[in-house]
């Protein structure tokens, strides 16, 4: 059992939790994820590790309440326990000194980009962060990210915070302004990663994205999370979750993420969580 030590409500649908999982905390690196199962009848879902407190053995997760499991998770309180919590899974981000790195986080994708921003800054990169959200209430971790960024840009769909528009617009502008960019890291909705990758491909800027397909075991056993990268089938759980953004077949990923949409809706309805 894994205890919820702290819970924060970041927005109506986005929650942060610090979970007591000393082994995961001890070995986790930026870019890796965990799989959790709330209770005996629960499903296994992957969530990216946002932060760790190695001394206290805590792992921070942030999640958007989209389906039955995340909604149920959001209802748990400090002191409650989660039945299973396994990790760190996946390959860590390749953190090194690239020069100038643009880190883009969209929506709840801001959570997984945060530890990468921190790590990239730590090894001496010039970090430009671009955060995007539908509106200002859904924008998370702004102050944490500001602390580790040399430059910070914010875009919201409705213009309620920062500039009105998309993170890709900001990136395009930076490129147009002649900013020398060595690497772009983008995590967020699939469509956002697709658009960002299209822009950077034109300018030949190395781009890393973190993919979020449906997973079951998370250890390379089921192949449910398979994605097409450079024409080859890869398992996001063991070969990723980060891949070269220019090689990912985003359309296939979007399709595969809709595999169980009807079942998800049914489960939510029956559980009374929508």
Partner 1 sequence: MAVRKTKYEMPEQDPKERIKNFREVPYGYDAETAIKEAQRCLQCKDKPCVDGCPVGIDIPRFIACIAKGDFDKAIEIIKEKNSLPAISGRVCPYEEQCEGKCRLGKIGEPVGIGRLERFVADYEREHGVKIPERAKPTGKKIAVIGSGPAGLTCAGDLAKLGYDVTIFEALHAPGGVLMYGIPEFRLPKEIVEAEVNYITKLGVKIVYDVVVGKTIPIEEILEEYDAVFIATGAGLPRFLGIPGENLNGIYSANEFLTRVNLMKAYRFPEYDTPVKIGKIVATFGAGNVAMDCARTALRLGAEKSYIIYRRSEKEMPARDEEIVHAKEEGVIFKLLTTPVRFIGDENGNLKAVECIKMKLGEPDESGRRRPIPIEDSEFKIKIDTALIAIGQSPNPLIPQVMKNLKIGKKGNIEVDEYCRTNIPGVFAGGDIATGAATVILAMGAGKKAAKAIHEYLNKH
- Taking CB under 8 A as the criterion, the residue among 199, 224, 247, 273 binding partner 1 is 224
Q: Which is nearer to partner 1, 82 or 175 (CB)?
A: 82
Q: Which is nearer to partner 1, 23 or 75 (CB)?
A: 23
* Cα–Cα distance for residue pair 269/263, rounded to 1 Å: 10
- Which span (121-129, 146-154, 200-208, 218-226) binds partner 1, by CB under 8 A? 218-226
Element (H, E) at 74: helix 68-75
Burial zone of 13 (CB within 10 Å; 0-12 exposed, 13-18 middle, 19+ buried): middle
> CB of 156: closest distance to partner 1 in angstroms?
31
Q: Which is nearer to partner 1, 75 or 271 (CB)?
A: 271
Q: Which is nearer to partner 1, 135 or 265 (CB)?
A: 265
Q: Which two tokens stand for residue 97?
A: 């000194």
Q: Which is nearer to partner 1, 87 or 105 (CB)?
A: 87
Beta carbons of 179 and 191 less than 8 angstroms apart: no
217 in contact with partner 1 (CB under 8 A): yes
252 in contact with partner 1 (CB under 8 A): yes
Rule CB under 8 A: which of 96-135 touch partner 1? Answer: none
264 in contact with partner 1 (CB under 8 A): yes
- Which span (11-19, 73-81, 178-186, 213-221) binds partner 1, by CB under 8 A? 213-221
Contact residues for 174 (Cβ-Cβ < 8 A; gap 6+): 102, 128, 181
24 in contact with partner 1 (CB under 8 A): yes
Contact residues for 68 (Cβ-Cβ < 8 A; gap 6+): 264, 267, 268, 271, 273
DSSP letter string, 172-229 = HHHHHTT---SEEEEES-HHHHHHHHHHHHHTT-EEEEE-----SSSSSSS-TTEEEE
84 in contact with partner 1 (CB under 8 A): yes
- Taking CB under 8 A as the criterion, the residue among 76, 191, 222, 273 binding partner 1 is 222
42 in contact with partner 1 (CB under 8 A): yes
Residue 49-68 contact track with partner 1, rule CB under 8 A, x = bound? -------------------x
CB count within 10 Å of CB 243 equals 21
Q: Quick one: which of 184, 52, 28, 194 has its CA closest to 120?
A: 184
* Cα–Cα distance for residue pair 226/153, rounded to 1 Å: 33
* Cα–Cα distance for residue pair 250/189, rounded to 1 Å: 10
81 in contact with partner 1 (CB under 8 A): no
196 in contact with partner 1 (CB under 8 A): no
* Cα–Cα distance for residue pair 50/32, rounded to 1 Å: 9
Residues that bind partner 1 (CB under 8 A): 23-24, 27, 37, 41-44, 68-69, 83-89, 216-217, 219-224, 226-228, 233, 238, 252, 255-256, 258-260, 263-264, 266-267, 270-271
């Amino acid at each position: 059992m894994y205890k919820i030590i702290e819970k924060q409500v970041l927005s109506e649908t986005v929650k942060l939790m610090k979970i007591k999982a000393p082994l995961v905390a001890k070995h986790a690196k930026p870019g890796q994820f965990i799989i959790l199962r709330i209770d005996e009848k629960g499903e296994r879902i992957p969530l990216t590790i946002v932060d760790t407190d190695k001394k206290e053995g805590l792992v921070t997760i942030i999640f958007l309440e989209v389906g039955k499991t995340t909604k149920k998770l959001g209802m748990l309180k400090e002191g409650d326990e989660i039945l299973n919590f396994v990790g760190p899974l996946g390959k860590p981000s390749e953190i090194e000194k690239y020069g100038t790195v643009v880190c883009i986080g969209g929506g709840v994708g801001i959570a997984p980009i945060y530890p990468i921003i921190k790590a990239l800054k730590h090894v001496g990169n010039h970090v430009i962060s671009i955060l995007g959200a539908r509106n200002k209430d859904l924008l998370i971790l702004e102050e944490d990210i500001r602390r580790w960024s040399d430059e910070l840009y914010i875009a919201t769909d409705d213009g309620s915070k920062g500039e009105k528009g998309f993170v890709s617009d900001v990136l395009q502008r930076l490129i147009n302004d002649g900013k020398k960019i060595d690497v772009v890291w983008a995590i967020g909705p699939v469509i956002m990663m697709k658009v960002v990758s299209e822009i950077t491909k034109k300018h030949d800027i190395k781009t890393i994205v973190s993919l979020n397909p449906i997973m079951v075991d998370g250890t390379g056993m089921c192949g449910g999370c398979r994605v097409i990268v450079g024409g080859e089938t890869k398992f996001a759980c063991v070969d990723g979750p980060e891949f070269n953004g220019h090689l990912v077949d985003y359309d296939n990923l979007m399709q595969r993420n809709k595999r169980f949409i009807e079942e998800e809706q049914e489960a939510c309805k029956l559980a009374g969580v929508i």
